[in-house]
Amino acid sequence: MRMSVATIPTLPRANRTIGAILVDAGLITPEAAEQILRLQRQNNLRFGEAAIRLGLLTEADVQFALARQFDYAYLRLNEPSKSVSEEVVAAYQPFSPSVDRLRAVRSQLMLRWFDKHEGRQMLSIVGTARGEGRSYVAANLAVVFAQLGERTLLVDGDLRAPRLHQMFTLENKAGLSTMLAHRSREEAIVRITDLVGLSVLPAGPVPPNPLELLNRPSFDELLAHVRASYDVVIIDTPSLSSGEDAVPIAMRTGAALAVARTVQTRVHAFADMVAGLSAAGVAVVGSVLNDVPKQPGKAAR
């Protein structure tokens, strides 16, 4: 998906060698590692360079090991069983142009909104209509914040047509809806072990009264709890065309990132949404346009 956009990293833990990481990941055998080490010593090469010269590894394999060595977790596309959907591109292709743009969004949000000392840790992802890419933006932003070293919670606040449990292959028997109804507790929040620092609270079973649930005191209590436990909390919301749920969510988080899609989003509806949120006291801290068309003779932005 193409899009346009209108801390200090943790110190690396270099106590594990690249060779050990690659062996543990099953990318090379111990015997192959010894062969690489011999060539490395003979020609004064880096381990990765020697491995590529021998044809035992690809550049992508070496980048994967380096990322692990520096605590920059991401997943490999050729894993036999994927725990995360490929739609979460930041989890699989962190060095791609699309994820570079997501990191640009992250940087702007760090400058414009997120500040734990000021209590600004929560952000709603809003849009006017279904299919604009709110869940895509929410999930990928959560991953790039976790990759930065922030303790990140991704919440599926779409209690009408939730998607995040599918993107992270989670059960949806418990989640936000059951927590708000006092039918479950913090155990509904799932740590994504393959992506260090990221946790997900799925929506849970679709309730008959989503707007009423979101206006209960239990929602305020939940947000107070996660604000104390996480550095960044990103909440996906349903489209305004599906109901008014996004408004109370955004009012409680204090800020919103507005998502639109080329051709699909109507300009007047988008403008009305931003004006309405601003009138309700929500800081609309930025916007993301998905599926920016390519210009003839120019690379996609």
DSSP string, 211-273: HHHHTSHHHHHHHHHHHHH-SEEEEE---TTT-STHHHHHHHHSEEEEEEETTTS-HHHHHHH
pLDDT interval class at 62 (50, 70, 90): confident
What does the pLDDT read at residue 15?
Answer: 61
Is residue 220 predicted with pLDDT exceeding 50? yes
Mean pLDDT in residue range 133-145: 96
In-domain check, residue 74:
no
Q: How far apart are the first and last CA of the chain?
A: 11
Residue tagged 């933006």 (tokens): 137
Summarize pLDDT for 161-199 with one digit per residue, the tens: 999 999 999 999 999 999 999 999 889 999 998 888 999
Task: Choose one of 69, 100, 132: the last residue of a domain.
Answer: 69
Decide if pLDDT at 300 tops 50.
Answer: no
pLDDT at 23: 83
Domain that holds residue 124: 89-290
**For residue 94, what pLDDT is reported?**
85
Same domain membership, residue 284 and residue 143: yes
Distance CA 167, CA 86 (A): 8
Look at strands 122-127 and 232-236 and give their pairing.
parallel
pLDDT at position 287 over 80: yes
One domain for residues 186 and 233: yes
Question: Is pLDDT at 70 greater than 70 in this prediction?
Answer: no
CB 167 within 8 Å of CB 85: yes
Average pLDDT over residues 127-154: 95
- Of all residues in the chain, what percent carry a pLDDT higher than 90? 59
| Structural domain count, the chain | 2
Who has greater pLDDT, 18 or 98? 98
How large a percentage of the chain has pLDDT more than 70? 87
Mean pLDDT of 52-66: 80
Q: Which of 77-91, 136-150, 157-171, 194-208 has the lowest mean pLDDT?
A: 77-91
Q: Is 161 inside any structural domain?
A: yes
Identify whether residues 146 and 233 lie together within a single domain: yes
- The verdict on 105 and 60 lying in the same domain is no
Residues 255 and 175 in one domain: yes
Please determine, for residue 233, whether its predicted confidence score (pLDDT) is greater than 60. Answer: yes
Instruction: Tell me if residue 198 falls in helix, strand or coil.
Output: strand
Does the structure show a pLDDT above 90 at 21?
no
pLDDT for residue 301: 32
Instruction: Note the pLDDT of residue 7.
Output: 32
Phi, psi (deg, nearest 5) at residue 253: -80, -25
Residues 121 and 255 placed together within one structural domain of the fold: yes
Q: Both 93 and 179 in a single domain?
A: yes
Same domain membership, residue 198 and residue 61: no
Do both 58 and 166 map to the same domain?
no
Q: Which of 241, 277, 229 is nearest to 257 (CA)?
A: 277
**Residues 110 and 224 grouped into a single domain:** yes
pLDDT mean over 127-131: 94
* Residue 179, pLDDT score: 96
Q: Out of 51-55, 76-80, 89-93, which region has the weakest mean confidence (pLDDT)?
A: 76-80
Please indicate, yes or no, whether residues 142 and 230 belong to a single structural domain of this protein. yes
Write the CATH number for 241: 3.40.50.300
Three-state DSSP class for residue 74 = coil
Task: Report the chain's mean pLDDT, rounded to a whole number.
Answer: 86
